[in-house]
Amino acid sequence: MNDASPLVTSQQQFADAVPFRVLDSEMCPLSRAVGRTLYSDVVAPTDMPPYPRAIVEGFLVNTAETEGASESSPQSFKITGEVKPGDKTCPPVHAGQALRVSTGSIVDRNAPVSVVRMWEAQLQQGNTLEVTRPFPPRFFIEEQGCDLQKNAVALKAGTALTPLDIGLIASLGISQVKVSGLPNVTIFASGNEVVPYTEALQPGLIRDSNSIMLAAAVSQAGGIPHLAGIMRDDLDAFASAVSDVLHETDMVVISGGTAAGGRDFIAELIKRLGQLVIDGVPMRSGKPLIMGIADDKPVVCVAGHPPEALRGFRLFGVPAIDRLVGKQAGLPVDE
């Protein structure tokens, strides 16, 4: 039986219920922006590249003079100068002349010239070179603005910045970007049998490995985890504890208490605080997943069994964080 479609339906239903890009924005230095989510578009302040430039090492020659060049009838050029990277201008290339250029050398924007690559130029004595084939106009020349034109959108809002994106932004001369704030995520463990993972075990008890594991998952997903401790199976006390943190957090994650015996307990907890959106997910395992919205904050309740807790968070918690920060990301695929 293929249960992917019902799972995706549940994921989409919960994602649609989570408010989109509700966190405040902040300015972030480019050196610390990798992984952050753009709050607004990055717009090119100038053309990129800002001037026409050679993209290979070679010789700049008049294109028309290479027409008809062949092995049997080579065209000769005298090397009269050089344009180095960093030079602000490119001298004119007169008939029968060639200029040595490097990768990045500036080229006149209107000149009918081409770059003869180094290995295609046959150097002769007397500071001359021969060309044995014709070259197309502006061969191996990057034109001004061919990558990005001034005021064009370089990166869209909602982009999770990668190292490559950071490099692109740096090439535009931009030192800081507007990003979404990091969501605060409060994590509760639940169960009368659960004890802190640092404590010695007694018969019948279980160490709480989920809280620290989910905190790591929250950090990896771009949130700031806050451990709220272990709650016993007391509906009133649990509801009060969650209610107390709603004003200072952006999302709540609860592990445990969603199995058959405690499912009604967790569902009732969410109903007391807000809206129950998902009460169980039809998938091959980890079905007792419960999701809700309280005070416009997503509440993600995952199974107590650690592998299923992490799986449930990946499938529902991560997309919720993505929604909060306005990240343009698809729903995770079940593995």
pLDDT at residue number 265: 84
How sure is the predictor about 259, in pLDDT bands with cuts at 50, 70 and 90?
low
Tens of pLDDT, residue by residue over 192-238, are 899 999 988 888 899 999 999 999 999 999 999 999 999 998 999 99
How sure is the predictor about 5, in pLDDT bands with cuts at 50, 70 and 90?
confident
pLDDT at residue number 71: 94
SS (H, E, C) 267-284: HHHHHHHCEEEEECCCCC
Tens of pLDDT, residue by residue over 300-332, are 999 999 999 999 999 999 999 999 999 999 999
If asked whether residues 203 and 293 sit together in one domain, one would say: yes
Q: What is the DSSP letter of 252?
A: E
Contact partners, residue 268, CB within 8 Å, separation at least 6: 235
Whether 280 maps to a domain, the answer reads yes
Contact partners, residue 176, CB within 8 Å, separation at least 6: 27, 28, 29, 30, 33
Whether 229 maps to a domain, the answer reads yes
If asked whether residues 15 and 66 sit together in one domain, one would say: no
If asked whether residues 102 and 86 sit together in one domain, one would say: yes
If asked whether residues 32 and 159 sit together in one domain, one would say: yes
CATH number of the domain where residue 109 is located: 2.170.190.11
Domain that holds residue 154: 24-48+149-180
If asked whether residues 176 and 29 sit together in one domain, one would say: yes
Q: Given 162, 180, 198, which residue is the final one in a domain?
A: 180
If asked whether residues 128 and 170 sit together in one domain, one would say: no
Locus of tokens 């924005």 = 25
If asked whether residues 209 and 315 sit together in one domain, one would say: yes
Whether 335 maps to a domain, the answer reads no
Res 298 pLDDT > 60: yes
Concatenated DSSP letters of 4-19: HHHHHHHHHHHHHHSP
Whether 230 maps to a domain, the answer reads yes
If asked whether residues 126 and 165 sit together in one domain, one would say: no
Residue 99 near residue 90, CB atoms below 8 Å: yes
If asked whether residues 196 and 219 sit together in one domain, one would say: yes
Phi, psi (degrees; rounded to nearest 5) at 44: -70, 120
Whether 128 maps to a domain, the answer reads yes
Domain count, the chain: 3
Q: Are strands 75-83 and 128-131 parallel, antiparallel or unpaired?
A: antiparallel
CATH number of the domain where residue 164 is located: 3.90.105.10
Whether 205 maps to a domain, the answer reads yes
Q: How far is CA 87 from the centre of its chain?
A: 36
Q: What is the C-alpha separation between 116 and 170, in angstroms, rounded?
A: 31
Tens of pLDDT, residue by residue over 64-94, are 999 999 999 999 999 999 999 999 999 999 9
Q: What's the token pair of residue 253?
A: 């994650």
pTM above 0.75, yes or no: yes
Lowest pLDDT segment from 153-162, 178-187, 226-235, 283-292: 283-292
CATH number of the domain where residue 264 is located: 3.40.980.10
If asked whether residues 159 and 36 sit together in one domain, one would say: yes
If asked whether residues 34 and 171 sit together in one domain, one would say: yes
pLDDT at residue number 258: 67
If asked whether residues 293 and 220 sit together in one domain, one would say: yes
Whether 169 maps to a domain, the answer reads yes
pLDDT at residue number 285: 62
Res 159 pLDDT > 60: yes
- Three-state SS at 165: helix
Whether 334 maps to a domain, the answer reads no
Q: What is the DSSP letter of 157?
A: T
